[in-house]
Amino acid sequence: MTTIIENAGMTFEMMFLFSLIVGALFCYANEKIPMEITALGVVLILLFFFHFFPIIDQNGSNILPSSKILSGFANPAMLTVLALLVVGQGVVKTGILEIFSRHVLALSMGKLWIATLISLITVLLISAFLNNIPVVIIFIPIMQGIAQRFHIPASKLLMPLSFVAVVGGMTTLVGSGTNLLVSNALIESGFDGFTFFEFTLPGLLLAGTGLAYVTIIAPKFLPHRTSLSHRMRERLDQHFMAEISINAESRLIGQSLGVRMFHELPDINVRMINRLGKTILPPFTGLKLREDDVIALSATREDLTKLMDSGYGLTPAEGYRTNPNSHKKSDQIVVEMMITPSSSLVDNTISRTGFEYRHNCQVLGIQHHAHMIRSRMGQAKLSAGDLLLVKCDTETLRGLREDLDVVLVEFSVEELPNLKSANVSIFIFLSVVLSAAFGLVPIVISSFFGALAMVATNVISLQQATRALDFKVITTIAAALALGVAMEATGAATYLANLILSITGTASPRVVLSTFFLMVALMSNIISTKTCAVLFAPIGLHIGAEIDIDPRIFAITIVFAANCAFATPFAYQTSLLVMGPGSYHFKDFLKVGSPLVILIWLVYSAFIPWYYGL
């Protein structure tokens, strides 16, 4: 048993905790193990370790029991985040935001910069009050439509969309789950939580800085990838992965196979052949095609459509499908759909989920972020942000629009929103925001009221509300909170705070605050922003107490710094969402996002000390 000694050096418990944090961060960044498994593993390890090595105070009481480690699963801030996800999904599902897309193009007067600016400003304002994940999901097709209308690549607009949604979330208490978690850390440390608009003024300055950057400077660094076929010439991994079968009438039967076997479509590349359950990889020297061979190939949407109508005698492979009903040819349409972060398709396969059977559709191709799928298409594990090329009819399309697993990215497909439900959803949303903003009830109560009201008024079904809850959010926040209470109980937070102060030496409070901001901002690009916020909250509060500065200033610093996850695509879900549709690579985020992190840090370092009179 261990007794805490004030101002002691690093203890065995601290060393274990720091090692666990480093290991968790490595797993989060590596992505080979699902985030949910890593998070639950962290909680389990903490439970085992502190059961056998409890932290005992001077009165002989265990200050880190299992109930405290598990308390993150019932944390008010996390429950508020989940309730707001349901409220946001209710607003998005009604289609009310899609009305805006038509007005944007009407007001743009044929000028790209006006259409883009109106869209981004709207995203910034909405993200201040709605979780930015559903906001980005609904605006991806809007920005793609603007790109299509003005004949520019979507890669010029989608990364700015993600960044603006994030900086917009810096402006109010409910703009980001990160803000709520830091506010909760204040409450648990004996301070009052944030008021609704407590950091809105400095937040607006930083958000305005981000907006100016993405509209003026970022376009010079954003990649120019005009189409899938163009991207294929740059990098083959940008095509859809598709599978076709050789039928009995095909004129390809008996033909020798080459990597480029379709002469009029030279950009189509054959990746593998499946014959009687056996996979054949290139080179295909001497191999001749047979009836029922399944060809796995990489192709653009346009080339794939041409290939199916070319008269070669080819059909989409049916080996893993549950025979969806056939469509009349006149009713057939091909649409692109993006997999959402909370989708049941994530870490699953098309064949196991029965997606095609449920919706009576066919998945013609898959684009997995910027990487080619190497297995059979039906057995390929999917990720958030992946694109599916789907063939369906107009009636099926309506059902797909209501499925929270996917979101349409086809701006040309229009559907009138449910205005009756839209009015109800807006009323509920405003009730949640205004009641919290004016302090009528705590945000956790108003958000739960909003979530329940969305279901009770049939704006969304109970199943849709449940699907809006992101299990990654639940597990990663709970694990981060467990690490946070362990850092507090073991004295690790105090130790790190003193270490940071020893590095800054006798520097002024401005330098300490600026250094702390940069450290948190850099870490937020390696781990999730919410995890970063929870881990650094106790450290920041300790530093504030040590140098006699209001700890709330450090808490606000964490809010701004932890949200600066612009330099990598995996630290924030909105970046993952735009990575596929924008065909971005990791280096694109590093090149475009890193200057924004530095710019916001410099603006913060210049303004915040003056604003708070330091």
The model's pLDDT over 559-574, given as tens digits with 9 standing for 90+, comes to 999 999 898 776 677 8
Q: What is the pLDDT of residues 245-284, one digit of tens each?
A: 777 777 778 777 665 566 666 667 777 787 877 777 777 7
320 confidence band (pLDDT: 50, 70, 90) = very low
Stretch 162-168: mean pLDDT: 93
| 238 and 222 within one domain | no
Positive/negative CA dihedral, 358, 361, 367, 372: positive
Does any domain span residue 40?
no
Q: What is the pLDDT of residue 44?
A: 93
- Look up the domain containing 87 and give its range: 80-226+416-455
Stretch 322-332: mean pLDDT: 48
Least confident of 145-154, 172-181, 330-339, 406-415: 406-415
Q: What is the pLDDT of residue 419?
A: 58
- Cα 149–chain centre separation: 26
pLDDT above 50 for 197: yes
Least confident of 32-41, 195-204, 464-473: 464-473
| 99 and 188 within one domain | yes
Does any domain span residue 2?
no
| 265 and 165 within one domain | no
Does any domain span residue 340?
yes
| 258 and 382 within one domain | yes
pLDDT above 70 for 217: yes
Stretch 78-106: mean pLDDT: 70
Does any domain span residue 491?
no
CATH number at residue 337: 3.30.70.1450
Stretch 534-550: mean pLDDT: 84
Does any domain span residue 353?
yes
102 confidence band (pLDDT: 50, 70, 90) = low
Find out whether 28 and 528 touch, Cβ atoms under 8 Å.
yes
Q: Which residues contact 274 (CB under 8 A, 6 or more apart)?
A: 243, 280, 293, 294, 296, 319, 376
Q: Which residues contact 73 (CB under 8 A, 6 or more apart)?
A: 474, 478
For the chain, give the mean pLDDT. 77
The residue out of 397, 426, 455 marking a domain boundary is 455
Could you say which DSSP state residue 329 is in? G
Q: What is the pTM of this model?
A: 0.62
Instruction: Say if strands 2-3 and 55-56 run parallel, antiparallel, or are unpaired.
Output: parallel
Q: Where are the alpha helices (DSSP H) in 70-170?
A: 76-93, 96-107, 112-127, 132-149, 158-168
- Per the model's pLDDT, the better-predicted residue between 53 and 569 turns out to be 53
pLDDT above 60 for 324: no
Highest mean predicted confidence (pLDDT) among 76-90, 229-243, 393-407, 516-530: 516-530
Q: What is the pLDDT of residue 168?
A: 93
Stretch 381-395: mean pLDDT: 78
Q: How far apart are CA 453 and CA 90, in angstroms?
A: 10
| 294 and 179 within one domain | no
Does any domain span residue 201?
yes
| 367 and 238 within one domain | yes
| 143 and 187 within one domain | yes
Q: What is the pLDDT of residue 592?
A: 93
The residue out of 455, 484, 515 marking a domain boundary is 455
Joined tokens for residue 394: 């107009």
Q: How many domains does the chain have?
A: 2
Q: How far apart are CA 158 and CA 560, in angstroms?
A: 22
Q: What is the pLDDT of residues 404-440, one digit of tens each?
A: 788 776 443 444 445 567 788 888 888 887 887 777 8
pLDDT over 90, % of the chain: 12
Find out whether 227 and 221 touch, Cβ atoms under 8 Å.
no
Q: What is the pLDDT of residue 415?
A: 41
- Cα 296–chain centre separation: 29
Q: Which residues pair with 56 in a beta bridge?
A: 3, 62
- Per the model's pLDDT, the better-predicted residue between 558 and 176 turns out to be 558
Positive/negative CA dihedral, 186, 188, 190, 193: positive
Highest mean predicted confidence (pLDDT) among 116-130, 228-242, 321-335, 365-379: 116-130
Q: How far apart are CA 33 and CA 29, in angstroms?
A: 10
Q: What is the pLDDT of residue 555?
A: 93
26 confidence band (pLDDT: 50, 70, 90) = confident
Minimal CA–CA distance to 479: which of 86, 73, 17? Answer: 73
Does any domain span residue 302?
yes
27 confidence band (pLDDT: 50, 70, 90) = confident
| 168 and 266 within one domain | no
| 443 and 403 within one domain | no
Does any domain span residue 579?
no
Q: To the nearest 5 percent, what fractions of the chain are helix, strand and coil?
A: 55, 10, 35
Q: What is the pLDDT of residue 327?
A: 46
| 206 and 235 within one domain | no
Q: What is the pLDDT of residues 581-613, one digit of tens each?
A: 777 877 888 899 999 999 999 999 999 889 988
Find out whether 38 and 27 touch, Cβ atoms under 8 Å.
yes
| 220 and 233 within one domain | no
Q: What is the pLDDT of residue 126?
A: 87
Q: What is the pLDDT of residue 279?
A: 75
| 442 and 316 within one domain | no
Largest CA distance in the chain: 86
